[in-house]
Chains A and B, each alone.
Chain A
Amino acid sequence: MSSGEPSNDGAADHVVRLSVPAALEYVRIIRLTGSGVASRLAFDVEEIENLRVAIDELASMAIEAADGGELEITFRSGENELRIEGRAPARAGAEVGIDALTGQILKAVIDDYELRTDSGHVCFSCTARRPLS
C-alpha cells in the first residue's frame, strides 16, 4: 500500500496508494486514509480537517462521473506538502464541473485542486501545503 525511500522525518517522499470501488460509500475510507497520511506529516487538526473536506468533495464528484469501476488514489508526501491524485474510468459522455457551493468550499480548504476528464478517465488532484516553520 505504500512505497518510497525512508527519510529522516519518516514521512516525506513516501507514497500511499489506495484502490476502492468507485462508489460513494467508499469515500469515507478515502477521507480516513488522507487523514492518516496527513497526520504522519504533522499537519495540525485544522489542516487535517480541511484536507478531509477537500478529498471528500473531489472524490465524490469523480465517483459521480465514473462508470462504477475502481477509483485509484495516490497520496504523495513531500517536504511540507501532501499531493493527492485520483483516477477512475469515466462514464461514456461524462462531463465534470464544480458548482459554486463546492467551489467555494474547495477554495477555502485546499491550496490547489483540479477535476477533469482525460482519455476516458475522470481525474482529480489537490495539494495541501504546510506553512514553512
Chain B
Amino acid sequence: MGEERVLQPDLSLTTKRSGSRAIVHVKGDLDAFSAPSLEAEVAHLVAGATNDVVFDLSATGFLDSSGLRALLVAERSVLDHGGQITLRAPSEPVQRLLEITGLSDHFLVEAS
C-alpha cells in the first residue's frame, strides 16, 4: 500500500492506495482555493488505474460550492472509468452542505 501527500496551508490530502482502491483523507478546508488540488489528485489516481476512490471527510473543516463541484467532477471522472466514489464519515460542515444542496442521497456515503 502506497501513501502520497499533497500539502497546502489550509488543506492536506493523504492518499493510501491498494490495488485499484484509494482512500483519500481530506483534512482542512475544501474551498475555491484548494479544490483544484483534489481534482488533480483524482486525475492522478484515475490515470494510475485507480477506480474505487473513498474520500475520508471526517477531518474536513469546511466545504463550499467549489469543493462540492470538485467532488462531483471527481465522481464523473471515476464513473467514466467504470469505478465509484464513496464519501466516508462526512464531518458536520460537509453533511450540512450536502443537505442544503439536496446531494445527501446522490453520493454513496459510509459512516466510517
Contact = CB atoms under 8 A, between A and B. Distances in A.
Given A27-B32, A28-B31, A49 B96 contact: yes
Interface residues of A, number: 20
Nearest to A109: B100
Main secondary structure of the interface of B (DSSP, over half): mixed
Interface residues of B, number: 18
A24 B32 contact: yes
Contacts, number: 46
Contacts of B97: 53, 105
Nearest to A64: B32
Max count, chain A CB within 10 A of own CB: residue among B65, B96, B102: B65
A58 to B, nearest CB: 11
B64 to A, nearest CB: 5
Interface in A100-117: 101-102, 104-105, 108-109
Given A31-B62, A53-B64, A56-B64, A104 B31 contact: no
Interface of A: 24-25, 27-28, 31, 49, 52-53, 56-57, 60, 63-64, 99, 101-102, 104-105, 108-109
